[in-house]
Structure 1
Amino acid sequence: MEDCNNIIEGILYLKGDEGIDIKELSLILEISKKEAVEAMDHFIEAYSKRGFDGLQVVDFGGKYKLATNPQYFPYYQKMVEQSKTTLSQAALETLAIIAYNQPITRAKVEDIRGVGCDGMIRKLIAKALIKEVGREESPGLPILYGVTNEFMDAFSLASLDELPELGDIVETESDEDIFTTRYQEGDLSETD
């Protein structure tokens, strides 16, 4: 059962904000739904007894996820507020893909970037630059993301129509990135 706990912990970590339901867990572990419920119950019990309370397992509408403990929210908030570093290139790429293609799922962003972006999406949500805007009508009902009013304010945009045409950006042969330039000029700080 210990290996099962380790596997479930890894699955929850990899699933991130999407979480996992019992049906999917039973398919991955190749066990019955009843056994999957028992395995998840055992995992939650063992996880809560492990001696650390920074993370907890939560059940949101049948989806199990790892989440931060709300008891420590003031510390997490300070971390976000005190951070003054610029967005990484990966975060800027993810932000640009969402801005130009919204509403868009995480999977489609990953298809465009060619790498996983769950962490980048969480970072951009924490910075209030993107948000969940709905669910795609496809199997699993994946989350759709779009930019926020804070994004619009940070980049001085009245509407997304003001974003440069993608063709214009490619043709300019400049190393200058519209998002990086404004961000580095101070129009956007890590806490915005």
Structure 2
Amino acid sequence: MRKLNMNQIEMEQYPVKDRFISVIESLLFVSGEPLKAKDMANILECDTKFIKSLIEDMKKLYREENRGIIIIETEDSYQLATKKENSEFVQKLLKTNVRQSLSQAALETLAIIAYKQPITRIDIDEIRGVKSDRAIQTLLEKGLTKECGRLDMPGRPILYGTTEEFLKYFGLESLNQMPSLEDVLKDFGDKDELLEENIIKEIEKK
């Protein structure tokens, strides 16, 4: 694809401009993470200013057509996101997906880490009454938890905590917004299907 700039594109037929917009939208969608304008310009072999101009057109289009997605900008990077007014419905889907994609063991482990972090694997095992190695690995692979340091004691065991991805899944801006365990269990349905009673009691201990 040849190098284009703003003046040249205005001389072209509109379908060419639409093609660029289509590619930009695909790049933002596939990335999932913020993309720099210069990186998109390199991929499309065009000017960075042209990319920024097209993104402004896309923002306007999304607003005018009342789309369910928006483009957010941070430090010269762009990312697709859902509209805030749709967050209630998006979170219902995300919670359902988490519930369906995680095993009972992983769900128990995630709840323990979320409410007891930072916490070691040994402490998680104690609360659950069984080994949690596989469950922890699953949560790490899904990006819901992370290693966040080591405990200052013999053996220096790894401490686990939740991630930014965890906050996104549950529509939280920070851990300070964590709802009560009771509210979380209501969202997921029957608490007995999610967590054993003894685990709930251990998590709720201060």
Relative to the length of structure 1, the TM-score reads: 0.46
Structure (1/2) with the larger helix percentage: 2
Larger-gyration structure (1/2)? 2
Relative to the length of structure 2, the TM-score reads: 0.44
Report 1 or 2 for greater relative contact order, CA contacts < 8 Å, sequence distance ≥ 6: 1
